[in-house]
Amino acid sequence: MCLRRDTIAHGSVCPQGSNGEYSVKYLFASVAMTLLALRLSAPIRAEDQGVPAASNVPGAQTPRIHSDRRITFSLKAPDAVSLQVAGGDGLGMSPFPMTKGTDGTWSVTTPPSVPGFHYYWFVLNGVAVNDPASETYFGYGKETSGIEVPESSADFYAILNVPHGEVRAKWYLSKTTGEWRRAFVYTPPGYDEHSTTRYPVLILQHGSGEDETGWTRQGRAQFILDNLIAAGKARPMIVVMDRGYAQRAGSPTPGSNAWLQNLHLAFTSFEEVVVHDLIPMIDASYRTIPDREHRAMAGLSMGGMQTLFITLQHLDLFAYIGSLSGPIVPNLGIADLTANRNPQTFDTKTAYGGAFADPSTFNKRVKLLWLGVGTAESDQFRTRIGGAVEALRKAGVNLEYFESSGTAHEWQTWRRDLNDFAPRLFR
Amino acid sequence: MCLRRDTIAHGSVCPQGSNGEYSVKYLFASVAMTLLALRLSAPIRAEDQGVPAASNVPGAQTPRIHSDRRITFSLKAPDAVSLQVAGGDGLGMSPFPMTKGTDGTWSVTTPPSVPGFHYYWFVLNGVAVNDPASETYFGYGKETSGIEVPESSADFYAILNVPHGEVRAKWYLSKTTGEWRRAFVYTPPGYDEHSTTRYPVLILQHGSGEDETGWTRQGRAQFILDNLIAAGKARPMIVVMDRGYAQRAGSPTPGSNAWLQNLHLAFTSFEEVVVHDLIPMIDASYRTIPDREHRAMAGLSMGGMQTLFITLQHLDLFAYIGSLSGPIVPNLGIADLTANRNPQTFDTKTAYGGAFADPSTFNKRVKLLWLGVGTAESDQFRTRIGGAVEALRKAGVNLEYFESSGTAHEWQTWRRDLNDFAPRLFR
């Protein structure tokens, strides 16, 4: 076995004399090349050539981002028959064909992209594969390449010279699922030093196809909180990011066509995890203020659905609620979910089990209901979320509504959402 | 843009009516399919069909591991011209050609693999790409697929029903590099509850091409420590896993052919980070016992080289030293590194700047010198490490030497190493 994948990637054979073994000599060469790559990772070309994306693996020269946010992708693939690059909304909706150069490297430069984090992948002879030059991020139910396109005027999610909290991987045994689960827990700056201070808690959930790593890797939630706290804009808080999937221990596997049953089972199973496993574990493990006035839940997309599904049934546990680009699913049962596939109206009297039926009671009990959407999201998202906002306001339900200008159903929307939402918590 | 990558992977077009947008309807379908996949992830086939690897993404049915540790890999790629699977030492040293089935899915079943974690990748029309069915792990300087092959008799790195520590992502500003760095810090079970207890510290480094994520993802160091501590076999300790690369702020970029200078600069830069940035930050941030008798350093492969390079120059800081499959580089200067490319002997009088010249003093000062290697590693590793062990013992230097039976230059060796090494610390 050659030491370096590149040796294979570039179609050559193992170096002579290596006997296929991982040798000391090639270890040295590998060390040196790795370190060299790190040194080359600084942007050294003129601006019109673009600079390597911050989401590249160390040393990778592409993708390159130009000053007008065009992006140049490339891949050396002398024997490929066809190659495209494709990706999330922010990249422009359709695959870009790549062109083969004389050295076997394919490349393309896209039109200007919107800022933010975009998933992408190559389509190599019809197979979707990741870019070896990119870090990977869990999305679409698998590891996926991602590109960070800077927003020149925004540093709220940058790692700045302010005190930083920690992100802790916390394993816990779920009675609901019978399995060990991993949650990530952000503890604010000073948590260890101020050893008697107690903190409010925000449970913050990812979207469909993503996992508990999403908010700190794609979302940069820890840096958003660090910056808000340093500026005195948000209260120091604990942020819990759990895995939004659960299956009750011993439950049967539904048939593959029973997707609605799966969806409902999964939502109720995750509800049980949050209520019976996660919250008690967090309150037992961290210095929380363990009451509803100091507990919030929010999530993006599927996580927003889950947030509304869970919090509106458990207002004894939550006083702060946020749904970030979360589809509005006005009711809670399987039949309602079915009906909701084509909802025409949002009935504030019956929606979510009647949670909003008495606006005055709701307004006293819920300290914050926050809904958000990106203006470049699809009509269905904007219409449904906007429609619910309008109906709720008309009925007298207090809420905050935030539109992220020009961003789609992706992470730049949700970063901005968190930056607006977090300062409103626990006031 | 279609919601699901699979739509593209399988060569079909976006569903009619989606208008290329990320719609609510397809979000629902995606949620349902994601959740369904999670339910299907349980091993449901007969044993001779194998079971999905624990390292697969949720729901992925391949790679499958058979009871005799043969592995079946597959990828749907109807338009591929050639497809192979290749990987690390434990997979058998050479690429396996895959065969195309009538439905366009290519597959191969390998001979029995050795247990443990193995990096692997596909070679698709000559391009090394990851398996979309696998989690990825940082190795070879990039994200790489990996497969976890169980060792039936070993549960020392399993997640068992014992108290678990946390793994904390800790950002810190390095004066040496001028940049923010991320270290992972394992705090043992009870760290928060026993709020006045202070703990010894082990600095534990990854290998070349890997990064600070290696020891907790590929290595499962946190579970090894949890299990050792629960069994009373190891003292509760803090484990610090830093990024083994550093470049001094403002230092020039050497030429690409100056690999030895790069290597030496990188080692000395990382030495400065450890001595001047990392150790003071850890002692200021965690309840450590901040003296040499309670500070250890160890590393694998390149990390072992770095450990010997750093600790033997700073015995005022370290009393415990471990080199896990670390190439023996007897001297410290650039010229010595060059000479070491073909070392014939290990001279205990001059090696490592004379650190072993007076064995009696060394034995009094160093509480543990630990060296290890896998018996299936290449001759160069075994000969060089074994030769140093023999010379040092002959000279009267106390050391522990551990051979991992049947394992190569990969993670199963280093998991076993840690399991042997950690119990010997801070006694």
Average pLDDT for residues A100-104, to the nearest whole number?
Answer: 97
Q: Which of B343, B332, B333, B352 is nearest to B392 (CA)?
A: B352
Q: Residue with structure tokens 């808080």?
A: A237
What's the one-letter identity of residue A57? Answer: V
Average pLDDT for residues A402-423, to the nearest whole number?
Answer: 97
Count Cβ–Cβ pairs < 8 Å, chain A vs chain B: 306
Query: Which of B31, B37, B286 faces A302 most closely, judged by CB atoms?
Result: B31
Report residue A260's pLDDT band, with 50, 70 and 90 as the boundaries. low
Tell me the pTM. 0.91
d(CA B135, CA B140): 15
The torsion angles phi and psi of B33, rounded to 5 degrees, stand at -70, -35
Length of chain A: 427
For residue B28, what pLDDT is reported? 61
For residue A90, what pLDDT is reported? 76
Contacts with A254 from chain B: Cβ below 8 Å:
36, 39
For residue B12, what pLDDT is reported? 30
Average pLDDT for residues A308-336, to the nearest whole number?
Answer: 86
List B residues 290-349 in contact with A (Cβ-Cβ < 8 A). 301-302, 305, 327, 341
State in Å, rounded, how far the first CA of chain A is from the last one.
60
Average pLDDT for residues B111-131, to the nearest whole number?
Answer: 95
Report residue B353's pLDDT band, with 50, 70 and 90 as the boundaries. confident
Contacts with A216 from chain B: Cβ below 8 Å:
169
Helix or strand (DSSP H, E) at A200: none
Q: Which residue has the higher pLDDT, A420 or B47?
A: A420
CB-based burial label for B349 (10 Å; 0-12, 13-18, 19+)? exposed
| A79 interfaces chain B, CB cutoff of 8 Å | yes
Contacts with B124 from chain A: Cβ below 8 Å:
124-125, 127, 129
Cite the DSSP H helix spans in A116-191: none
List B residues 377-406 in contact with A (Cβ-Cβ < 8 A). 377-381, 384
Task: Characterize the bridge pairing of strands B368-374 and B400-404.
Answer: parallel
Is A408 within 8 Å of B34 when comparing Cβ atoms?
Answer: no
CB-based burial label for B360 (10 Å; 0-12, 13-18, 19+)? exposed
Q: Residue with structure tokens 């010249």?
A: B357
Is A263 within 8 Å of B79 when comparing Cβ atoms?
Answer: no
Helix axes B24-40, A259-272, angle to 10 degrees: 70
What's the one-letter identity of residue B24? Answer: V
d(CA A219, CA A217): 6
Distinct helix (H) and strand (E) counts, chain A: 12, 19
**By mean pLDDT, which of A304-318, A358-372, B34-48, B413-427 is the weakest?**
B34-48
For residue B7, what pLDDT is reported? 38
For residue B93, what pLDDT is reported? 60
Is A39 within 8 Å of B253 when comparing Cβ atoms?
Answer: yes
| B141 interfaces chain A, CB cutoff of 8 Å | yes
| B280 interfaces chain A, CB cutoff of 8 Å | no
Q: Dihedral of the CA atoms B338, B342, B348, B353 (nearest 10)?
A: 0
Cite the DSSP H helix spans in B106-237: 214-217, 221-230
Contacts with B81 from chain A: Cβ below 8 Å:
79, 81, 125
For residue A269, what pLDDT is reported? 92
For residue A256, what pLDDT is reported? 52
d(CA A293, CA B171): 31
- Residue-wise pLDDT tens digits, A77-89: 999 999 999 987 7
| A74 interfaces chain B, CB cutoff of 8 Å | no
Query: Which of B22, B59, B253 faces A409 most closely, judged by CB atoms?
Result: B22
User: SS3 for B333?
Assistant: coil
Contacts with B324 from chain A: Cβ below 8 Å:
none
A1, pLDDT greater than 80: no
- Among all residues of chain A, which has the CA nearest to that of B119? A5
- Among all residues of chain B, which has the CA nearest to that of A253? B39
Is A166 within 8 Å of B167 when comparing Cβ atoms?
Answer: no
- Residue-wise pLDDT tens digits, A144-187: 999 999 998 899 999 999 999 999 999 999 999 999 999 999 99
Average pLDDT for residues B55-80, to the nearest whole number?
Answer: 95
* Mutation for A interface: B143, B346, B377, most A CBs within 10 A: B143
User: SS3 for A323?
Assistant: strand
**By mean pLDDT, which of A236-245, A397-406, B34-43, B260-269 is the weakest?**
B34-43
B204, pLDDT greater than 50: yes
Q: How many other CB atoms sit within 10 Å of the CB of residue B197?
A: 12
A351, pLDDT greater than 50: yes
* Mutation for A interface: B208, B211, B220, most A CBs within 10 A: B208
What's the one-letter identity of residue B324? Answer: L
d(CA B158, CA A139): 26
**By mean pLDDT, which of A93-97, B100-104, B113-117 is the weakest?**
A93-97
- Residue-wise pLDDT tens digits, B220-231: 999 999 999 999
A332, pLDDT greater than 90: no
Mean pLDDT value across chain A? 87
- Residue-wise pLDDT tens digits, B242-271: 999 998 898 765 555 555 666 777 789 999
| B260 interfaces chain A, CB cutoff of 8 Å | yes
Rounded to a whole number of angstroms, the distance from the CA of B360 to the nearest CA of chain A is 31
What's the one-letter identity of residue A413? Answer: T
Is B27 within 8 Å of A208 when comparing Cβ atoms?
Answer: yes
For residue A62, what pLDDT is reported? 95
Average pLDDT for residues A345-374, to the nearest whole number?
Answer: 94
ipTM: 0.91
Query: What tokens were used for A193?
Result: 């030093």
Query: Which of A39, A185, A377 faces B262 most closely, judged by CB atoms?
Result: A39
